[in-house]
Amino acid sequence: MLFNSIQFLVFFTAIVFLFFSLPHKTRWVLLLLGSYYFYMCWKVEYIFLILLSTVIDYIAGLVIGATKRISIKRIFLAFSLITNLGILFSFKYWNFFSDSVNQVAQSFNIFHSLPTYEILLPVGISFYTFQTLSYTIDVYRGKKEPEKHLGIFALYVAFFPQLVAGPIERSTHLMPQFHEEKSIDPRRFASGLRLMAWGFFKKLVIADRLAAYVDTVYGNAGDFYGLPFWIATFFFAFQIYCDFSGYSDIAIGAAKILGYDLMTNFRRPYFAIDISDFWKRWHISLSTWFRDYVYIPLGGNKVRKSRWYLNLAITFLVSGLWHGAAWTFVIWGALHGFYLIMSILTVRLRQKLADISRLSRYPNFHRVFRALITSTLAIYAWVFFRADGLDSALLVTRRLFDFSAGLSLQGMVQNSTDFIIAWAAILVLLGVDLVVELMEKYSGVRSFALSTRWLAYGMLIFSILLFGVFNGQDFIYFQF
């Protein structure tokens, strides 16, 4: 079930009504059944994968929590890791692995090939797998008491607002909330609805509008030169940001209405002043997951410098692979790892350059300059994320600088009104993000007058209805 569907509006309204009509003790049943229904609307059979993960991690958690013997703890942790990652590997990575092995084998004149299968990727498998894994690991580390209530645990795995595209919650944060009694809170309702409306604006007005231009250019990369690639790549940067952060906003808003707090997933990433800052603002629930369960166990930065850089590189490579089973995603991850390591290596040099050029005398201007550089690097990396393959990504890279067709946008822009709306929507987004950024930075500015706020809400809803693209397009991150 897509958030941007009539089905979800009906479903969610019914769920909220029933939730607050039922006694606290039975609410988990409603949320669990609702979550399973929500998921089954994609592919009914794949609910068994969630049930399997749930049962395995529930049992693993109980055993790990109950025993004092470290060997048993390790066995059950390994059991959970192998099963969950095994399912993930089978459904998401097998074909990629198989193709890669076959290619290598062929280059050595070995023509015995591993089979590939036509399997539909279960929606959100990477998200709920990582969420359940974090629970088992936290229980193993003693950070979390095992959950004894199977229903509550199952709800933690399948809670519908964040089931298919996050935020990837931690058991220590979300699970205790399911035990708390929730009551109607007008402020939470208002805040949740606001977030949902903003999420719908980002998804329907911006992301799905930009998608048409991006798909046209990237889908026919051989037909375009120069400017269309710049615009399409810039558009994709905002498409993916609005698509994914829009989903997160709707998820967080929906959970908030029901009384649950999900973690913040985005904090205006294109205002980041360096790559490290970018990853503190982009898909925060995933980057902190990798920090806590991959980077720090590898030794983090408390090791030799060379090992530190290696840890960063490994973390980003794995992060790239998490996003998709293709070399383009691995390169995207590698590129970010490279950016980060380079930014660490050049800290002094950059500071020196800022001093020489006197940029450091104007901190705000310097900040804007750094944000532009960081965004440019991040946007270029999106080329690999969006391209249909490695060849296509390299073609786009070449064509970005090939202006043999002048500045023509022929073939890309069919409807100039829509094109203008697309740019205007991006400006609105940047404007709102800037205001929020400044409000966060300068705590003196807390809020706007009530009339201003209501005007803004009215315009937001009006814009969604008027300019929304209602073609039921999937959220990009579902595929991960």
Partner 1 sequence: MSGERLIRVLLILLGIPAIVLFLGAKSEYVMGHFTVVDSTHGDLSKKLKIRDFQVSVPPSVGSDSSYYLPGLADADILLIGDSFFRWHRGGPMFAEQLSGVTGHHAVNLWSPGGKGYPQRVISQLEGAGVRWSDTTRVLLVECIERNLVRNYSDSKYALESVSRPDLNSGVAENRGTAGLVDLLQTIRYRWFESAELNYQYLLQNSPATVGMTEFYNTMRYRVFDIMPGMITVYDNDPVMLFYEDTIDDSEHSYFYPHSDETVQAIAETLEKVQSEVLNRFNLRLIFLPVPNKISIAAERVTDVPYDMFVPRLCAELERRNVPTISLYELFRSSEVFPYHPTDTHWNQTGVEQALNQLNDLMISRGWVDGISSDL
Q: Among 122, 216, 165, 263, which residue's Cα sits nearest to residue 418?
A: 216
Q: Which two tokens mark 377?
A: 């690097």
Contact call for residues 178 and 155 (beta carbons, < 8 A): yes
Spell out, one character per residue from 215 to 254, where the chain touches partner 1: x when CB under 8 A holds, - when not.
x---xx----------------------------------
Query: Are 473 and 211 in contact, with CB atoms under 8 Å apart?
Result: yes
Q: Which of 48, 362, 454, 470 binds partner 1 (CB under 8 A)?
A: 470
CB of 383 to partner 1, least distance (A): 18
Choose, by CB under 8 A, the member of 99, 277, 418, 474 that binds partner 1: 418
d(C-alpha 318, C-alpha 114), whole Å: 23
Q: Among residues 284, 469, 476, 480, which is the contact residue for partner 1, using CB under 8 A? A: 469
Q: Does 26 bind partner 1 (CB under 8 A)?
A: no
- With vertex at residue 137, the alpha carbon angle to CA 299 and CA 155, rounded to the nearest 5 degrees, is 140
Among 113, 346, 357, 471, binds partner 1 (CB under 8 A): 471
Asked if residue 474 binds partner 1 (CB under 8 A), the reply is: no
Residue 317 beta carbon to partner 1: minimum distance, rounded to whole angstroms? 30
Binding mask 34-53 for partner 1 (x = CB under 8 A): ------xx--x---------
Tell me if residue 323 is catalytic.
yes
Cα separation, 94 vs 83, whole angstroms: 15
CA distance 229 to 221: 8
In the complex, the smallest distance separating the C-beta of residue 459 from partner 1, rounded to whole angstroms, is 15
Determine which one of 149, 173, 323, 336 is catalytic: 323
Q: In angstroms, give the least distance from the CB of 456 to partner 1.
A: 20
113 binds partner 1 (CB under 8 A): no
Q: Which of 26, 415, 448, 455: binder of partner 1 (CB under 8 A)?
A: 415
| Cβ 255 to partner 1 shortest distance, Å | 17
Of the pair 357, 415, the CB lying nearest partner 1 is at: 415
Rounded to the nearest angstrom, the gap between the alpha carbon of residue 93 and the centroid of all alpha carbons in its chain is: 19
Q: Does 419 bind partner 1 (CB under 8 A)?
A: no
- Under rule CB under 8 A, which residues in 270-329 are in contact with partner 1? none
Q: Is 397 in the site for partner 1 (CB under 8 A)?
A: no
C-alpha distances out from residue 413 to 210, 226, 232, 388, 421, Å: 11, 14, 11, 21, 12
Q: Does 1 bind partner 1 (CB under 8 A)?
A: yes
Note whether 459 binds partner 1 by CB under 8 A.
no
Binders of partner 1 in range 199-218 (CB under 8 A): 208, 212, 215
Q: In 10 A of CB 65, how many CB atoms?
A: 17
Give the active site residues. Answer: 323
Query: What residues line the site for partner 1 (CB under 8 A)?
Result: 1-2, 5-7, 10-11, 13-14, 16-18, 20-21, 40-41, 44, 183-187, 189, 208, 212, 215, 219-220, 410-411, 414-415, 417-418, 421, 465-467, 469-473
